[in-house]
Structure 1
């Protein structure tokens, strides 16, 4: 198997940063490159620059670069072929990393799902409104593949208020954002096609890509944002069927894309004719600065930028209502494809969504206020109990992406399960076993519960570092 895309010498030098350490230079360079691969910052099947180019970019001798590459080939982190260059790989394909097995009992704290608590009063009021409105819809069959016209109008109005002028014929109602992505994969890609994803990314999105028969092509996130240079190279060299990104409060890192990067991303997608699917499921949960302008607002007709949204992350996960915003012709194709899956969304839930969207801003402000308090409690507890773990305060969303001080994420998830905490290990958010040094911790539970979580994680981590890891790997679990 050869490379999906290539990397220039200067680009790799920027990824390496301050790579020099004690010992021979070639060994330090090999260690730094190996760490980039293991952490997912240098994706697998990426062609690395030639030895001469790398030596010039780093200011070292060609002998140093040659020796570093030779060490990596011997360890199984590089593969080479005459005329094709060298590309990254792993010594063995670890397959999909397992998630923690669900524990039993009432004392289990579930961190595998990042979703806000339900605004109960608002949901009760929305249900009463929907129940009163339901008789008007009973004479009809209740089937509408594109969604009830009244909900399509409400979603279009909601997006327009948020700064993205939208018409109802640009909206398809779905059973959540994941259902929306599944439909888009069915229509825009096929078995064997490449789908560009951020690395790390939303675990369920990776599962959806694989289930469609497509192949996820990861582009690593930088510590402070998106690597647009790598995205550009991947779009041009991999010729993907589509790209899936989360520009606001990215799951799991919590990062949000800057306005200049959004503009550059849209220009890049247009130039390469790459359909850009932007997940806006968490767009309403900005906790610090005001939100940036939506990526969709840079492409109002929806010809290049396709957005998917949901009520699940910001209102309630049990309300399975989402949407696709795109050009009307694509909406019609998606509605036709949906007929082979689930025909339409429940009428009562659609009517509830209409009522909730009418009061969305006040509801979301209360959700944001609660999320700030939960985030603060989690950060304080981690700094006190686990000061060796590293993280940046996310400006929004529901997740904290934590770097451990040892690559033992899967072991931590397994042992945390024995302490009554269900956790999503880092590799669940990556491709080919990356991110063993990371773990996602949502702050979607009450502050006191999060403090209890950190107490239990501290116990579990002490067990991991002492070697007390369960002999059997747990079975996979849902991570949302």
Structure 2
């Protein structure tokens, strides 16, 4: 079913663009930016030319020319009887899916893809699969269906929670098809269309979009440079009548903030008072780089919590294995919801993860060392080439959340792509329109690549900032 957007809503997003001259070009450029940052998603049918013209106060000819220019640039298509529908040129790279497209070694096109925050696999990966294959014959005797997961892996995940201060049994653990699969199960089990849900802003886009697709009404709770505003959370819970929350308290994606023990206890008490379900994404909990240790799991402070985890950030993104942990009384609805999505995760991958978990101390220490070097390299490169940008250095996670001096995240991302750097703009992480002053930059690629990316981004920034353009022209000619 094709998405639609009302003339009134589109007029609000266009802002003052129709007032600038030439109006048709200004409207087309504003529409292009809206499509690029996802606020008007690809595949959305735009209002009729007459309806939009009447709403924004311009002539129909102006809207006609704007739509035509948008189509010429590849950002829309027009079919008789269907109107004008938004599109993306080279959509696989421009909407952030480029990182998910298979690439052949040696086939590098010179593009630096900074849309995907994942580390390389640990050196133990090959051995883990070899050991998993020795367990394989035992599992070939059965049906191969494990809707709750391979028992040995459930036991290992439960033991990990117990070690972290949250007593857990295997009966409270379900193995899922990645953390995204865990999101989908929790949403299907406990949320209904129209339910209000409080969540961080910024937040992880895939989790946010999964909730939105299920019909949840998202209420953004800002996470700023200091972290979570718990006064705002305590005020919003009774005011909004929220049924659930989505939290990322452990090296929050994308800001890297770590919620303290005291903050967890305070927010847990507030959620308990209002009987609100907490869905807590712990995908990044094992990505500590330096600084203080990670507090106890949020579920230790609020029993009505579904905790989600996965192997993609802690071990390897190719291991599509995740899990959820919930009190036994919530597992029934979760198990029923799971069977409407799939009947279990691949057995061999579960066995490989089980082998890897036996080496977690070694893997975590090694990855922290690599991440620390790459983080520090990227921070130094940004300070050198883009001193106007403000960067908070996180103690964990896999990204920097950069503050730009102007609200130009989306046009900058377009400019950076021309210089061979693919980024996700700040608005992609926003439950509501905004965050144009921010940019997420993963620090997971090798140091030389990160330095090269910073240099390319500086050239792209110079195209947007006249002051930077003048300074850089004195030393190095710009490459357009």
TM-score range, shorter chain: 0.7 to 0.9
Tell me what 1:174 maps to.
176
The residue correspondences of 1:8-407 to structure 2 (distance < 5 A) are 100-101=94-95, 106-119=109-122, 121-296=123-298, 298-299=300-301, 303-407=303-407
Equivalents in 2 of 1:105, 1:362: separation in Å? Answer: 31
Shift of 1:445: 0.7
Report Cα offsets for 1:319-349 as digits up to 9, x if no partner: 0111111111212321221111111000000
CA contact (8 A) 2:220 2:432 kept: no
Shift of 1:163: 2.9
Would you say 1:437 and 2:440 are equivalent positions? no
- Structure 1 residues 295 and 268: alpha-carbon distance in aligned structure 2, compared to 1, 3 A threshold: farther
Shift of 1:278: 1.2
Shift of 1:198: 0.5
Report Cα offsets for 1:297-321 as digits up to 9, x if no partner: 524xx73222111100111111011
- Structure 1 residues 433 and 96: alpha-carbon distance in aligned structure 2, compared to 1, 3 A threshold: farther
Secondary structure of 1:147's counterpart equals: coil
Secondary structure of 1:432's counterpart equals: coil
- Structure 1 residues 312 and 96: alpha-carbon distance in aligned structure 2, compared to 1, 3 A threshold: farther
Equivalents in 2 of 1:141, 1:225: separation in Å? Answer: 47
- Structure 1 residues 241 and 100: alpha-carbon distance in aligned structure 2, compared to 1, 3 A threshold: same
Report Cα offsets for 1:383-416 as digits up to 9, x if no partner: 0000000011111111100011111100011111
Tell me what 1:33 maps to.
none
Unaligned regions of 5+ residues in structure 1, if any?
A: 1-94, 468-480
Secondary structure of 1:293's counterpart equals: coil
Equivalents in 2 of 1:392, 1:246: separation in Å? Answer: 18
Secondary structure of 1:217's counterpart equals: strand
Tell me what 2:456 maps to.
456
Report Cα offsets for 1:38-94 as digits up to 9, x if no partner: xxxxxxxxxxxxxxxxxxxxxxxxxxxxxxxxxxxxxxxxxxxxxxxxxxxxxxxxx
CA contact (8 A) 1:145 1:336 kept: no
Shift of 1:455: 0.7
Equivalents in 1 of 2:272, 2:142: separation in Å? Answer: 41
- Structure 1 residues 378 and 112: alpha-carbon distance in aligned structure 2, compared to 1, 3 A threshold: same
Secondary structure of 1:278's counterpart equals: strand
Equivalents in 2 of 1:264, 1:113: separation in Å? Answer: 33
Equivalents in 2 of 1:288, 1:426: separation in Å? Answer: 26
Higher-RCO chain (CA-CA 8 Å, sequence separation at least 6): 1
Report Cα offsets for 1:126-146 as digits up to 9, x if no partner: 100111100011010010111
CA contact (8 A) 1:158 1:357 kept: no
Secondary structure of 1:308's counterpart equals: strand
CA contact (8 A) 2:118 2:313 kept: yes
Shift of 1:105: 6.0
Secondary structure of 2:329's counterpart equals: helix
Equivalents in 1 of 2:294, 2:129: separation in Å? Answer: 32
Secondary structure of 1:387's counterpart equals: coil
Shift of 1:466: 4.9
Equivalents in 2 of 1:297, 1:205: separation in Å? Answer: 19
Secondary structure of 2:94's counterpart equals: coil
TM-score by length of 2: 0.74
TM-score by length of 1: 0.74
Equivalents in 2 of 1:115, 1:361: separation in Å? Answer: 19
Unaligned regions of 5+ residues in structure 2, if any?
A: 1-85, 99-106, 468-480
Shift of 1:241: 2.3
Equivalents in 2 of 1:131, 1:290: separation in Å? Answer: 38
Shift of 1:285: 1.2
Equivalents in 2 of 1:96, 1:303: separation in Å? Answer: 44
Report Cα offsets for 1:122-173 as digits up to 9, x if no partner: 1101100111100011010010111111110011112222332211011011
Equivalents in 1 of 2:210, 2:328: separation in Å? Answer: 24
Secondary structure of 2:457's counterpart equals: helix
Task: Give every structure 1 segment of 4 or more consecutive aligned residues whose post-TM-superposition deviation is greater than 4 Å.
Answer: 95-99, 101-105
CA contact (8 A) 2:260 2:295 kept: no
Shift of 1:247: 0.6
